[in-house]
Amino acid sequence: MFLKHLECSSCGLQHDWSRLQNLCTSCGKPLLAIVDLSVASRTLKRDNLATREKSLWRYREVLPLPGDIEPISLGEGGTPLLRAQKFGHDIELWIKDESLNPTQSFKARGMTVAVSMAKHLGATKLAAPSAGNAGGALAAYAARAGLEAYIFMPRDTPCANIVECRELGADVTLIDGLITDCGAEIARRKTKEGWFDMSTLKEPYRVEGKKTLGYELAEQCGWQLPDVILYPTGGGTGLIGMWKAFDEMEALGWIGKKRPRMFAVQATGCAPIVRAFEMGEKSAAEFPNAHTIAAGLRVPKAIGDFLMLDILRQSNGGAVAVDDEEMMKTAREVGSKEGLFVCPEGAACFAALKSLRSAGKIVSGERVIIFNTGSGVKYVEYYKAQLD
């Protein structure tokens, strides 16, 4: 076991990992897992990864589950990094295709780790608010673990996500409101109902699963991080997780000091991080009247806002908003040029690439990574509406 303790990302207070924890008991901010990297590095070597299983559990020593406990796994991670064929002709563009994960999105990465730990620490009823894909992933891993899942989603969540959660045996409640209203409903009821709150960054291990995006990327890039990363940002867990992975890998001696410029991509109808970044704020105010087809980007207020903003600035990156029409138009362009039916969130990154390129914030010859975080199939009613 290589996990030392949990540490508050804001005040630094240490918490015990061996019991179920949500937020910092002193300041209410997210807790992050601190791994004993010098002990982990005795068995986890950069050069022995290729001989290990393909799933993200190949980074076992830097993940939080004790070594003798079997993870709750559906074969997540190990997704392809594809060289773009036609898009971004004068840059070196790569697409990390996360739609090949179980339940067709990168949310599987966070949930395999978080559900494994929740079960290990004795939780039996898991609750989460979801924009759609996280709900499907929680439902799948909870079913696999023999635990109950309670999922709260906005009523207008894409139909496939709702049906998927139900078919996977979850208890689904549709709320007339946004993901923040779903989270508030769980907070109100969780003690009485005996639910463990699995909201992203309100428990410490979904971000640990998401950090494997960073480990995998480095591995697939031959341990040379790219110049730029474009990440479709809702709660920002992947962004925060990757940054943590980069620091861990530097401490392990696997990579150097160079970091990619990190760009958060949001929708014009819900861009709290873009607005806060442009205004020079350290945290982001709730975005009013949040609306966008990209359900995963419809997060008007994120608890990890201050962490994201810090990363964007430290990395010399930025934040870009894309409107829905542009997103959907770009999705079709990616489909026909690259052979990938991307989710609107992924399409937003391709649209953002165009605007960053014409603004000179990405220059010719740079190596750029786009995350296609999920499959377009989940949003089929929106894509069909474009045809009607």
Ligand X SMILES: Cc1ncc(COP(=O)(O)O)c(C=O)c1O
Q: Which residues contribute to the site for ligand X (CB under 6 A)?
A: 105, 131-134, 200, 232-238, 296, 343, 345, 373-374
Contact flag: residue 163 with Zn ion (CB under 5 A):
no
The DSSP bridge pattern shows strands 92-97 and 81-83 to be antiparallel
State in angstroms the smallest separation of the CB of 240 from ligand X.
8
Alpha carbons within 13 angstroms on the beta-carbon side of residue 165 total 27
Query: With CB cut-offs between 5 and 8 Å by kind, which of Zn ion, ligand X, none does residue 8 bind?
Result: Zn ion
- Could you tell me which of 254, 298, 237 has the C-alpha nearest to residue 109? 237
- Could you tell me which of 242, 240, 301, 244 has the C-alpha nearest to residue 276? 301
Query: With CB cut-offs between 5 and 8 Å by kind, which of ligand X, Zn ion, none does residue 226 bind?
Result: none
Which residues pair with residue 95 across a beta bridge? Answer: 82, 370
Provide Rg for the chain, Cα atoms.
19
Residue type, 71: P
State in angstroms the smallest separation of the CB of 12 from Zn ion.
7
By C-beta, is 317 or 374 nearer to ligand X?
374
State in angstroms the smallest separation of the CB of 127 from Zn ion.
23
By C-beta, is 11 or 163 nearer to Zn ion?
11
Query: With CB cut-offs between 5 and 8 Å by kind, which of Zn ion, ligand X, none does residue 376 bind?
Result: none
State in angstroms the smallest separation of the CB of 24 from Zn ion.
3
Query: With CB cut-offs between 5 and 8 Å by kind, which of ligand X, Zn ion, none does residue 133 bind?
Result: ligand X
Burial of residue 275, with CB atoms counted within 10 A of its CB: 0-12 exposed, 13-18 middle, 19 or more buried: middle
Q: Give me the 3-32 binding string for Zn ion, x by CB under 5 A, dash otherwise.
A: -----x-xx-x----------x-xx-x---
- Rounded to an integer, what distance in angstroms lies between the CA atom of residue 132 and that of residue 295? 7
By C-beta, is 21 or 157 nearer to ligand X?
157
Residue 211, classed as helix, strand or coil, is: coil
Query: With CB cut-offs between 5 and 8 Å by kind, which of ligand X, Zn ion, none does residue 338 bind?
Result: none
Phi/psi for 368 (5° steps) reads: -125, 140
- Could you tell me which of 182, 207, 348, 355 has the C-alpha nearest to residue 270? 348
State in angstroms the smallest separation of the CB of 334 from ligand X.
14
- Rounded to an integer, what distance in angstroms lies between the CA atom of residue 162 and that of residue 48? 40
State in angstroms the smallest separation of the CB of 337 from ligand X.
20
Residues at the interface with Zn ion (CB under 5 A) = 8, 10-11, 13, 24, 26-27, 29
